[in-house]
Structure 1
Amino acid sequence: MRFQVPQFVDIEDKIIGPFTLRQFLTYVVAAMLLVPVYIYSDLSLFITIALPILGIAAVFAHLKIYGRTFSQVTFSAISYASKGQLYIWRRLKNSPLKIIDDEWDAARASAAADRESASLSSIAQSLETTGNVSKQDADDPLVV
């Protein structure tokens, strides 16, 4: 083997205790948000505010959806929702179809008449023979 290929590239290194650098920084940001609340409020208000913030920080630090972090999924969802959507075809409810010319209308009417005149047995026969139906009598090559 000429080259040594690294394995487990997608696994982040544990840098600070059991946390990766990204997880640790997420908890640091949450703590920085909670320090002023702890200093300027009483304990019950601090606990009321700290629990949701720490819960959200834990979700952002640890949750992965299909191998992507929750912050990446959230960013993708926000960018998808904020950009314009491209509609290739959108049917309007009250817009009637417009016929371009009379020849096309006549061809459509004759095709509808042909469909109505086709009997159920001929349709069944064409389905059974995969469309190879001849309405003329043919000579049998085996009969002499």
Structure 2
Amino acid sequence: MSIPAPFRRVLEAGDPAWTEGLNPELVVVYGDKRRKYLECYTMQAIEEVDEKIESLPRGSVERRMLQRLFNGQSHPTSVDETGRLVLPAKLRQKIGLTGEAFFIGAGDTFQIWEPETYETEEQAATDEWLDELPDDVDPLIYLDRQPGE
């Protein structure tokens, strides 16, 4: 599948080993059974996740489970010369991807969805959240709030 150019720029910027002419590397996390999407991490982003996992107490259930979710259920790869990403059949099957994909950027990560799944599940959840807001509330107000407010 072809990675949108803006997402490729983020992957390049987030790969310390990348230089002009090389293919940026990334890690595709397919995660637990509840995930209906693939999450693509820049190399810097996945290193941050790994550092946080390593900071957890050795032998803790949380550390072990997060290692399994991020290290054991991921696929290191790179974007090819044509800007495409080749996903193994296992990953395509996990999200039911048979044709075009839907991409959502989130800073130094992006998600890959089967378009109909996104539309029926994630968009419905967003619509539900918006419907709960008073009509005169613009969701942009949440950008200025501190976590927990």
Q: Same fold (TM over 0.5)?
A: no
Larger radius of gyration: 1
- Bigger proportion of residues as strand: 2
- Bigger proportion of residues as helix: 1
